[in-house]
């Protein structure tokens, strides 16, 4: 029994030793496998590290070469700029020397002219004294006799001289003026927007009309009260008409109505909320359009209040012409003409852009829009030259500066070019009738015809009452009467026709 137990214990001990040795061998193999994998990973990591370093070096070399190329290009540009500046400085020095030489020559000629004038005055004085001694009368008495003797001759000669002077002035200045104005017109063109006092808002269905009117008309009354416009809801299918002479109010009402239609909730409280949002939106649009106009006209540094007033002109029209687009066009034209005649281009553009600024608030103030605009410019711009040009551009100031002439001419070009403005048939006929009535009011006029849309009037006179010299005087008198009594775009050509016919019959 004990022997069996001892044998069993021995077997167990031997089995445990065998198992222990087997586990040790397995662990040793695992350790060797792990070491080989570690060495393989280390080799791969070193290879990748070398590749990354090579790529980084290549990228650094590439960036360095690009930087060096850019530096060479910039150095070349700087060298070219330096050469151009040096050339310009040399040209300026030459021009300055030439101007100094001319100035010295002009000063010398001016002194010679003054000396010659003094000598002529002395000769004139001596001749007058000799004539008084010879005639026995004073110079004042001689002037009176000569005036009486020449009065009739001068009266007959005045009309002829007027025609000659006008022809001479036109010959000298006409070509240059036409060149300047034609060049300005060719370089500037602006789209035209038709004038309107109503806006039409489409409706998704006729059922929406009843919702806009509301119970007992409370919705439409609330909308008209909040916006200050008239809503016309008639038999026109799926449309509502907004009527108002104030374009800002009409635009606010249009936007508010579109918002209400999209929202679907239409009641007095919602109407007031939408009207306020629309008013804020229009205000933002006004400011944005003012800034945009300043940029388009190339007028930097304009006061924000003037820019805001310019934006209001987006909704103002004159004879179908949008006033904001007209102002931008006048600014460009004025700048072009100023560059041709040697006037400050920036001031000309500023004056042209602001010349109709008074129309933004003329319904709130009394007086012509030119004077209102001049007051606004004087308040915020502080430029006396621009202020005077704005006040003078319609000839209401009593005087006219060079800048005023330029702005007035640019305004006339923009308003008088074909397609710029339109007027109703009633106003058109009244203007033609007024033009013909002015011509018919003069004695000796037989008939008058306004042609070319009122830009020319032809007058037939009675040949037995009006001679050739009187015809010249009559044309000039009619021109003055038209300028004093009528308002018209551009200019009106007055043609007086005197025709004598002799008829006989051979029998």
Q: Rounded to 5 degrees, what angle do the CA atoms 318, 324, 325 make? A: 90
Position 26 scores a pLDDT of 77
Helix H or strand E segment including 421: none
SS3 185: helix
Q: What CATH number did the domain enclosing 487 receive? A: 3.30.300.20
81-104 pLDDT tens trace: 988 898 888 888 888 888 888 888
Read off φ and ψ for residue 136, nearest 5 degrees.
80, 10
Residue 164 domain-assigned? no
Q: Are residues 454 and 382 in the same domain?
A: no
Distance between CA atoms of residues 202 and 261, nearest Å: 9
Q: What CATH number did the domain enclosing 221 receive? A: 3.30.1370.10
Residue 321 domain-assigned? yes
Mean predicted confidence (pLDDT) in 485-502: 82
Mean per-residue pLDDT over the chain, rounded: 80
Mean predicted confidence (pLDDT) in 276-291: 86
Structural tokens at position 253: 């009402």
What is the radius of gyration, based on Cα positions, of the chain? 46
Band of pLDDT at residue 478, cut at 50, 70 and 90: very high
Q: What secondary structure does DSSP assign to 424-443, as a single string?
A: -HHHHHHHHHHHHHHHHTST
Q: Please identify, among 294, 320, 354, the residue that sits at the C-terminal boundary of a domain.
A: 294
3-state helix/strand/coil string of 92-147: HHHHHHHHHHHHHHHHHHHHHHHHHHHHHHHHHHHHHHHHHHHHCCCHHHHHHHHH
Q: Are residues 202 and 284 in the same domain?
A: yes
Position 365 scores a pLDDT of 75
Any residues with CB less than 8 A from the CB of 476 and at least 6 apart, and which?
162
Q: For the beta carbon of residue 315, count every other beta carbon within 10 angstroms.
A: 21
Position 192 scores a pLDDT of 43
Task: Assess whether pLDDT exceeds 80 at residue 482.
Answer: yes
Q: Please identify, among 133, 164, 183, the residue that sits at the C-terminal boundary of a domain.
A: 133
Q: Which of 20-24, 47-51, 59-63 has the highest mean pLDDT?
A: 59-63
Helix H or strand E segment including 492: none
Over pLDDT 70: what percentage of the chain? 82
338-382 pLDDT tens trace: 888 888 888 888 888 888 888 887 767 777 888 888 888 888 877
Helix H or strand E segment including 284: helix 268-296
pTM: 0.48
Band of pLDDT at residue 193, cut at 50, 70 and 90: very low
Structural tokens at position 355: 């010349």
Q: Rounded to 5 degrees, what angle do the CA atoms 353, 173, 484 make? A: 65
Residue 9 domain-assigned? no
Number of domains composing the chain = 4
Q: Are residues 409 and 433 in the same domain?
A: no
Q: Are residues 275 and 343 in the same domain?
A: no
Mean predicted confidence (pLDDT) in 44-54: 81
- Residue 297's alpha-carbon distances to 289, 300, 415, in angstroms, are 12, 9, 17
Q: What CATH number did the domain enclosing 331 receive? A: 1.10.3210.10
Q: How far apart are the first and last CA of the chain?
A: 190
Instruction: With CA atoms as reference, report the closest residue to 388 among 400, 379, 380.
Output: 400
- Residue 389's alpha-carbon distances to 307, 311, 351, 418, in angstroms, are 18, 21, 6, 25
Q: Please identify, among 357, 390, 416, the residue that sits at the C-terminal boundary of a domain.
A: 416
Work out the angle between the directed axes of helices 247-263 and 268-296 (0-180°, nearest 10): 130
Q: Are residues 129 and 19 in the same domain?
A: yes
Residue with tokens 């934006």: 311
Structural tokens at position 242: 């907004």
Q: Are residues 313 and 388 in the same domain?
A: yes
Strands 456-461 and 239-243: unpaired
Residue 287 domain-assigned? yes
Q: Are residues 204 and 284 in the same domain?
A: yes
Residue 81, by phi and psi: left (phi above 0), alpha (psi -120 to 50) or beta?
alpha
Are 251 and 315 a contacting pair, CB within 8 Å?
Answer: yes
Residue 248 domain-assigned? yes
Any residues with CB less than 8 A from the CB of 197 and at least 6 apart, and which?
243, 244, 245, 250
Residue 469 domain-assigned? yes
Position 272 scores a pLDDT of 86
Instruction: With CA atoms as reference, report the closest residue to 256 among 209, 205, 212.
Output: 212
Domain around 120: 15-133
Q: Which residues does residue 243 pair with via DSSP β-bridges, in sequence order? A: 198, 230
Position 186 scores a pLDDT of 56
What one-character DSSP code corresponds to residue 297?
T
- Residue 64's alpha-carbon distances to 55, 56, 57, 67, 72, in angstroms, are 14, 12, 10, 5, 12
Q: Which of 2-11, 37-46, 149-158 has the highest mean pLDDT?
A: 37-46
Residue 150 domain-assigned? no
446-455 pLDDT tens trace: 999 988 778 8
Q: Are residues 337 and 411 in the same domain?
A: yes
Are 454 and 417 a contacting pair, CB within 8 Å?
Answer: no
Instruction: With CA atoms as reference, report the closest residue to 324 among 314, 333, 334.
Output: 314
Are 32 and 24 a contacting pair, CB within 8 Å?
Answer: no
Structural tokens at position 129: 């004294």
Higher pLDDT, 399 or 283: 283
Distance between CA atoms of residues 200 and 242, nearest Å: 6
Residue 402 domain-assigned? yes
Are 242 and 250 a contacting pair, CB within 8 Å?
Answer: yes
Position 458 scores a pLDDT of 93
Q: Are residues 78 and 127 in the same domain?
A: yes
Q: Are residues 127 and 31 in the same domain?
A: yes
Structural tokens at position 22: 């087997």
Over pLDDT 90: what percentage of the chain? 5
Are 272 and 256 a contacting pair, CB within 8 Å?
Answer: no
Higher pLDDT, 369 or 235: 369
Distance between CA atoms of residues 241 and 237, nearest Å: 11
Q: Are residues 272 and 289 in the same domain?
A: yes
Any residues with CB less than 8 A from the CB of 78 and at least 6 apart, and which?
none
């Amino acid at each position: 029994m004990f022997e069996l137990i001892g044998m069993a214990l021995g077997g167990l001990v031997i089995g445990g030793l065998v198992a222990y040795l087997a586990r040790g061998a397995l662990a040793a193999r695992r350790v060797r496998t792990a070491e080989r994998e570690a060495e393989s990973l280390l080799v791969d990591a070193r290879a990748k590290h070398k590749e990354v370093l090579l790529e980084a070096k290549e990228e650094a070399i590439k960036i360095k070469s690009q930087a060096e190329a850019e530096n060479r290009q910039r150095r070349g540009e700087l060298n070219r700029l330096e050469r151009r500046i040096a050339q310009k400085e040399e040209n300026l020095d030459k021009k300055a020397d030439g101007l100094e030489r001319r100035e010295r020559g002009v000063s010398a000629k001016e002194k010679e002219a003054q000396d010659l004038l003094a000598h002529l005055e002395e000769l004139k004085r001596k001749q007058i004294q000799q004539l008084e001694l010879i005639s026995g009368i004073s110079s004042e008495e001689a002037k009176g006799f000569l005036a009486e003797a020449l009065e009739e001759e001068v009266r007959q000669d005045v009309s002829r001289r007027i025609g000659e002077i006008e022809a001479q002035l036109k010959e000298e200045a006409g070509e240059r003026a036409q060149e300047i104005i034609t060049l300005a017109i060719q370089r500037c063109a602006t789209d035209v927007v038709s004038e309107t006092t109503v806006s039409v808002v489409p409706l998704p269905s006729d059922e929406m009309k009843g919702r806009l009117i509301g119970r007992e008309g409370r919705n439409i009354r609330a909308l008209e009260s909040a916006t200050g416009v008239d809503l016309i809801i008639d038999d026109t299918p799926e449309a509502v008409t907004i009527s108002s002479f104030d374009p800002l109010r009409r635009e606010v009402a249009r936007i508010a109505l579109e918002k209400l239609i999209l929202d679907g909730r239409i009641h007095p409280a919602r109407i007031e909320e939408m009207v306020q949002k629309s008013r804020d939106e229009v205000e933002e649009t006004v400011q944005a359009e003012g800034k945009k106009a300043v940029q388009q006209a190339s007028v930097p540094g304009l006061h924000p209040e003037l820019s805001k007033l310019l934006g209001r002109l987006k909704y103002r029209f004159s004879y179908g012409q949008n006033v904001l687009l007209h102002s931008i066009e006048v600014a460009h034209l004025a700048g072009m003409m100023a560059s041709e005649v040697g006037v400050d281009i920036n001031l000309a553009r500023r004056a042209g852009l602001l010349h109709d600024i008074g129309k933004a608030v003329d319904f709130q103030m009394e007086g012509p829009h030119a004077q209102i605009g001049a007051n606004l410019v004087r308040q915020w711009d502080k430029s006396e030259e621009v202020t005077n040009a704005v006040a003078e551009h319609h000839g209401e100031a009593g005087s006219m500066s060079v800048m005023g002439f330029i702005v007035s001419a640019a305004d006339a070009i923009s308003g008088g070019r074909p397609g710029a403005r339109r007027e109703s048939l009633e106003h058109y006929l009244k203007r033609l009738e007024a033009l013909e009535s002015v011509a018919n009011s003069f004695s000796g006029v037989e008939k008058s015809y306004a042609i070319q849309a009122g830009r020319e009037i032809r007058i037939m006179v009675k040949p037995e009452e009006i001679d050739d010299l009187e015809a010249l005087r009559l044309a000039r008198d009619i021109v003055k009467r038209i300028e004093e009594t009528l308002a018209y775009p551009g200019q009106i050509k007055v043609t007086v026709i005197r025709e004598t016919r002799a008829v006989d019959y051979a029998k």
